[in-house]
A and B are shown apart, each in its own frame.
Chain A
């Protein structure tokens, strides 16, 4: 990691909230190539031979370890496609921090499409944190299209936090999940778009095993002339529980479309969806203004709190 320059270090920090990965395994990818890697006794990282990407293999019973797999794009005109597969052994309990940062000072587009597949064995637990960020002065578009595929065996739990706060011009984020007995998939997504940005989210989760459950909470803010779409499709095929909550604030000329779909194929499936879209409540602004904040400051506080 010592060979990274300041721009790279800065970008890395923005997407991982950390500048020191030394406590765990890591793999740093930049402009389509691996630039640094560390494995541990329990976590192996292997470069794929048939296509770009890596396999991350976590031994059975591994506890409280971290894996960082950030991706950076710092050159214009890069179109990076990567496949990362995670094999998480039985009863392991680990945290994976992924993230993609694009710094594009030029006028050509910079694009990263990451396909992440998680195979969790019985009783495995993973916290997966993903942050997307774009910066740079150029007019070149910054495009990120992450796809996440999740396969949870009996009793496995995957908690996924994804955040995209700034600078990504276009994103289509797709998540597909298949859950066995007692498995649980918890998703929290936060998105803020501004300018002419576009963000689309698609969730497809199949609850196949008895007593499996999923909670999806999406909070988003669409400012300026940005557009967002949210599609979720939860399929309950047995006795299971699914809950989708989509909550969006629109500002200026922002546009948000939410299409939550739930399908119960079993009499014992319990599925709930809630979707709310609206501007910031006037009384919230009023309350903060009575504390001395200007209208702009009040707006900012409300939005920051909402996306926190």
Chain B
């Protein structure tokens, strides 16, 4: 499905990604984890086309997409939920979902999408995506925009951040259902053990490199042995 070949990305003289090689197979549920600042979000942005690598290649379903724009990649079937959702003055939740689905959406459809991320549709469809929404609400709407698209490759950057525990259980269900329905692949960047548990594969990214790929049980000892803060977060959850 997706292949990153020797991706390097440098900013302000700092190697943010250093020869990243990664293959995401068809119909896989992949979790990317690792310490803060390791380069996880940057990998996602490079896949989506938001950042351009200094060198290396990105292959999607056999096609080289390294020089394709964000819009082109989106239309080829890549979706990305931001770690930090964007606010819009005047654009409502309903408007954004409609743009995500790519056509006029019936209220019932919006309701399905919103309730799947734990939001009561009646209260939200007409709300503007501005600073009046709480952090967790924004995050759920962000997730909904990608769920609604049902893309072949969907990337979620720390979807659990700011989401309360009850909704988190439902969220896991959303991802599981999605991976069944779309017959595509899901990539979740996460620090949560619960997400690592359900992943087919866990990728450990540290200091701009892919340090290890494997099942959660193989990765966790490596992750915990590291001294960074992200690791202690994984410990707390245990």
State the A residues within 8 Å of B (CB): 219, 247, 281, 283-284, 286-295, 301-302, 304-308
Question: Across the interface, which residues of B come within 8 angstroms of A305, CB to CB?
Answer: 88-92, 95
Q: Is the CB of B71 within 8 A of A292?
A: yes
Question: Across the interface, which residues of B come within 8 angstroms of A290, CB to CB?
Answer: 48, 50, 70, 74, 79-80
Question: Across the interface, which residues of B come within 8 angstroms of A286, CB to CB?
Answer: 50, 70, 86
Question: Across the interface, which residues of A come within 8 angstroms of B92, CB to CB?
Answer: 305
Question: Across the interface, which residues of B come within 8 angstroms of A294, CB to CB?
Answer: 71
Q: Is the CB of B89 within 8 A of A293?
A: no
Q: Known contacts A293-B71, A295-B71; decide if A288 and B90 are in contact (CB<8 Å).
A: no
Residue of chain B at shortest CB distance from A307: B90
Question: 18 extra interchain contacts, Cβ-Cβ under 8 A, other than A290-B80, A291-B145?
Answer: A219-B89, A219-B90, A281-B86, A286-B86, A287-B86, A289-B69, A289-B70, A290-B48, A290-B74, A291-B96, A292-B149, A294-B71, A301-B91, A301-B95, A302-B88, A305-B90, A305-B92, A308-B90
CA distance A295 to B79 in the complex (A): 17
CA distance A294 to B91 in the complex (A): 17
Chain B, range 43-71, C-beta contacts under 8 Å to A? 48, 50, 69-71
B227 interfacial contact with A, CB 8 Å: no
How many residues of chain B are within 8 Å of chain A by beta carbon? 23
Report 6 cross-chain contacts, Cβ distance below 8 Å, ordered by A residue. A219-B89, A284-B88, A289-B70, A290-B70, A291-B149, A305-B91
CA distance A305 to B75 in the complex (A): 23
What's the minimum C-beta distance from A252 to chain B, rounded to whole angstroms? 20
State the B residues within 8 Å of A (CB): 48, 50, 69-71, 74-75, 79-80, 82, 86, 88-92, 95-96, 99-100, 102, 145, 149
What's the minimum C-beta distance from B138 to chain A, rounded to whole angstroms? 12
Question: Across the interface, which residues of B come within 8 angstroms of A247, CB to CB?
Answer: 89
Residue of chain B at shortest CB distance from A296: B71
Q: Known contacts A288-B99, A291-B100; decide if A306 and B90 are in contact (CB<8 Å).
A: yes
Q: Is the CB of B99 within 8 A of A301?
A: yes
Q: Is the CB of A287 within 8 A of B149?
A: no
Residue of B74, B89, B90, B91 near A292 (CB, 8 A) is B74
Q: Is the CB of B99 within 8 A of A293?
A: yes
Q: Is the CB of A287 within 8 A of B82?
A: yes
Residue of chain A at shortest CB distance from B90: A305
Question: Across the interface, which residues of A come within 8 angstroms of B99, CB to CB?
Answer: 288, 291, 293, 301
Q: Is the CB of B86 within 8 A of A283?
A: yes
Residue of chain A at shortest CB distance from B87: A284
Question: Across the interface, which residues of A come within 8 angstroms of B69, CB to CB?
Answer: 289
In the A-B complex, list the 6 residue pairs whose CB atoms are closest, starting with the nearest.
Answer: A305-B90, A305-B91, A289-B70, A292-B74, A287-B86, A306-B90
Residue among B69, B80, B99, B149 with the most chain A CB within 10 A?
A: B99
Q: Is the CB of A292 within 8 A of B102?
A: yes
Question: Across the interface, which residues of B come within 8 angstroms of A291, CB to CB?
Answer: 74, 96, 99-100, 102, 145, 149
CA distance A292 to B100 in the complex (A): 8
CA distance A26 to B137 in the complex (A): 46
Q: Is the CB of B91 within 8 A of A302?
A: yes
What's the minimum C-beta distance from A246 to chain B, rounded to whole angstroms? 13
Residue among B75, B88, B92, B145 with the most chain A CB within 10 A?
A: B88
What's the minimum C-beta distance from B150 to chain A, rounded to whole angstroms? 12
Question: Across the interface, which residues of B come within 8 angstroms of A289, CB to CB?
Answer: 69-71, 74
Residue among A219, A247, A288 with the most chain B CB within 10 A?
A: A288
Question: Across the interface, which residues of B come within 8 angstroms of A308, CB to CB?
Answer: 90
Question: Across the interface, which residues of B come within 8 angstroms of A306, CB to CB?
Answer: 89-90
CA distance A257 to B95 in the complex (A): 31
CA distance A291 to B71 in the complex (A): 7
